[in-house]
Chain A
Amino acid sequence: MNGIHIFLLCLAALFVLLYALQPKRPKIAFTYLRYIVLALIAAMVMAPFFWLLCSAFKDSSVLMKYTFLPPIMNWAKEINLSNFRELFKSQPSMEGNVYFWQYIINSLFLASITTIVQMFFSSMGGYALAKYDFKGKKIIMFFMLASMMIPGVVLLAPVYKLIVNIGLMDTYWALVLPGACSVFGMFLFRQAIVGIPKDLIEAGRIDGCSEFSIYMNLIMPLVRPMTGAFCLVTFLGSWNNFLGPQVYINAQSKLTLPVVLNQYVGVYANQYGVFLAGTLLAIIPPAILFFCLQKEFISGLSSGAVKG
Chain B
Amino acid sequence: MEFPYGKAPFWILVMAIITGLAMMLSRTFTNAGRPDLVFVVFAPRHYEAYLKLIPEFERKHNVKVQLQQVHQRPLQTRLQSALLADTDVPDMVEIMNPFMGAFMKGPLDDVGFVDLTDRVKAEKLDEKMVESRFSIWSSRGRIFALPHDVHPVALAYRRDIVEHLGIDVNKIETWDDFVRIAHEKIVKDVDGDGIIDRYALDLSISGTSFFPIILLQRGGRYFDSQGNLTMDTDITIDTILWYIRQSRGKTRISFPAGEGQPFYKALSDGIILFNFVPDWRSKVFEIDAEDLKGKMALMPLPAWEKGGRRTSTWGGTGLAITEKSKNKELAWELAKFLYLNKKDFSDRFAMLNVIPPLKEAWDLPAFQVEDEYYSGQKIGQIYAELAPETPPDYVGAYYEMVDGKTREVLIDGGVYYEKYGDKGLREFVTEKLKQKAAYVRRVMNRNVFLREGEVEITDANSSKENAG
- Indicate if A touches B (C-beta under 8 A): yes
What 1/0 mask marks residues of chain B from 221 to 264 whose CB sits below 8 Å from any chain A CB?
00000000000000000000000000000000000000111100
B334 CB, min distance to chain A CBs, angstroms = 14
Query: Bound complex: CA of A217 vs CA of B265, how far in Å?
Result: 65
What's the least CB distance linking B97 to chain A, in Å?
12
- Tell me the bound Cα distance from A263 to B47 in angstroms: 14
* B67 with A94: CB separation less than 8 A: yes
Kindly state the separation between the CA atoms of A32 and B7 in the bound complex, as whole angstroms. Answer: 38
Asked if A169 is at the interface of the complex by the 8 Å CB criterion, the answer is yes
Specify which chain B residues have a CB less than 8 angstroms from the CB of A164 in the assembled complex. 85-88
Closest to A158 in B: B85
Complex Cα distance, B69 from A38, in Å, reads 47
Q: Does A247 contact B (CB under 8 A)?
A: yes
Q: Does A20 contact B (CB under 8 A)?
A: no
Q: Is the CB of B68 within 8 A of A252?
A: yes
Q: Does B4 contact A (CB under 8 A)?
A: yes
Cβ–Cβ contact B81 & A105, under 8 A = no
Q: Using Cβ atoms and an 8 Å threshold, which residues of chain B touch A289?
A: 8
Would A95 and B32 be within 8 Å (CB), given that A63-B261, A267-B71, A268-B42 are in contact?
Answer: yes
Please measure, in the bound complex, the distance between the C-alpha atom of A161 and the C-alpha atom of B81, giving whole angstroms: 9
Contact of B13 among A112, A221, A224 (CB under 8 A): A112
**Interface of chain A residues 135 through 166 with chain B (CB within 8 A):** 157, 160-161, 164
Measured CA separation A289–B30 after assembly (Å):
31
Asked if A112 and B15 sit within 8 Å, CB to CB, the answer is yes
**Known contacts being A96-B30, A252-B68, A252-B69, is A270 close to B81, with CB within 8 Å?**
no
Residues of B within 8 A of A109 (CB): 15-16, 19-20, 22-23
Which one of B72-80, B356-364, B410-418 contacts A? B72-80
Interface residue stretch chosen among A72-80, A177-185, A186-194, A228-236: A228-236
- Cβ 8 A contact of A268, one of B20, B43, B48: B43
Question: Could you say which residues of chain B place their CB within 8 Å of the CB of A106?
Answer: 19, 23
Does A36 belong to the interface (CB within 8 Å)?
no
Q: Does A279 contact B (CB under 8 A)?
A: no
Whether a CB of chain B sits under 8 angstroms from the CB of A22 is no
Please state if B71 and A262 are interface contacts (CB–CB under 8 Å). yes
Residues of A within 8 A of B72 (CB): 266-268
Closest approach, in angstroms, between the C-beta of A114 and any C-beta of chain B? 9
A46 on the interface (CB 8 Å rule)?
no
A102 to B19, CA, bound (A): 10
Min C-beta distance of A179 to chain B, whole Å: 16
Does residue B35 face the partner (Cβ distance < 8 Å to A)?
A: yes
Inter-chain contacts of B48 with A (CB < 8 A) = 92
Q: Enumerate chain B residues within 8 angstroms of A228, measured Cβ to Cβ.
A: 6, 8-9
Does any Cβ of B come within 8 Å of A293's Cβ? yes
> Is the beta-carbon distance between A231 and B4 smaller than 8 angstroms?
no
For the side of the interface on A, what is the size category? 35 or more
B5 touches A (CB below 8 Å): yes
What DSSP secondary structure best describes chain B's contact surface?
helix
Residue among B7, B45, B262 making CB contact with A64, cutoff 8 Å:
B262
Establish whether residues A119 and B35, one from each chain, have CB atoms under 8 Å apart when the complex forms. no
Residue A246 at the chain B interface, CB threshold 8 Å: yes
A105 and B96 form a contact (CB under 8 A)? no
Which of B7, B35, B44, B71 contacts A94, CB < 8 Å? B35
**Cβ-defined contact, A266 with B71, below 8 A:** yes
Contact (Cβ within 8 A) B9 A94:
no
Does A116 interact with chain B (Cβ within 8 Å)? yes
Least distance between A267 CB and chain B CB atoms (Å): 5
In the complex, whether A113 has a CB less than 8 A from a CB of chain B is yes
Assess the B29–A105 pair: CB atoms within 8 A.
Answer: no
Complex contacts, A235 vs chain B, CB 8 Å: 12
The answer to whether A116 and B6 touch across the interface, beta carbons within 8 angstroms, is no
Q: A64, A115, A224, A296: which contacts B265 (Cβ < 8 A)?
A: A64
Contact with B along A213-250 (1 / 0, CB 8 A): 00001001100100110011001000000000011001
Question: B44's contact among A217, A220, A269, A272, by CB below 8 Å, is which?
Answer: A269
Measured between alpha carbons, how far is A238 from B260 in the docked complex, in Å? 32
Query: B38 — nearest CB in chain A belongs to which residue?
Result: A94
A6-59 interface (Cβ within 8 A of B)? none
Is A93's CB under 8 angstroms from B261's CB? no
Residues of A with C-beta under 8 A to B262: 64
Residues of B within 8 A of A272 (CB): 260
Q: Are A267 and B32 in contact, CB atoms less than 8 angstroms apart?
A: no
User: Once the chains bind, are A108 and B15 in contact (CB under 8 Å)?
Assistant: yes
Residue of B nearest to A264 (CB): B71
- Contact yes or no, A93 B68, CB < 8 A: yes
- A161 x B85 contact (CB < 8 A): yes
In angstroms, how far is the closest chain B Cβ from the Cβ of A2? 19
A227 touches B30 (CB 8 A): no
Q: Could you tell me the distance between the alpha carbons of A259 and B74 in the complex, rounded to whole angstroms?
A: 10
Shortest Cβ gap from B362 to chain A (Å) = 25
Q: Are B69 and A224 in contact (CB under 8 A)?
A: no
| Nearest CB of A to B18, in Å | 8
A269 vs B42: C-alpha distance in the bound complex, in angstroms? 10
Closest approach, in angstroms, between the C-beta of B354 and any C-beta of chain A?
A: 13
B residues in contact with A224, CB < 8 Å: 5-6
Whether B51 sits at the interface, judged by CB under 8 Å, is yes
Q: How far is the CB of B84 from chain A (nearest CB, A)?
A: 8
Contact between chains at A116 and B51 (CB < 8 Å): no
Q: Is the CB of A250 within 8 A of B4?
A: no
Tell me the smallest distance from the CB of B125 to a CB of chain A, in Å: 26
Docked Cα-Cα span, A231 to B7, in Å, equals 11
Residues of chain A contacted by B86 (CB below 8 angstroms): 164
B466 at the interface (CB under 8 A from A): no
- A/B interface sample: 13 pairs, CB < 8 A: A105-B19, A109-B16, A109-B19, A112-B15, A115-B12, A116-B13, A116-B16, A160-B85, A161-B84, A164-B87, A224-B6, A228-B6, A268-B43
Given contacts A116-B16, A217-B4, A227-B6, 18 further A-B contacts (CB under 8 A): A92-B51, A94-B67, A94-B68, A96-B29, A96-B32, A105-B23, A105-B26, A108-B19, A109-B20, A112-B19, A113-B16, A161-B84, A224-B5, A235-B12, A251-B68, A266-B73, A268-B43, A269-B44
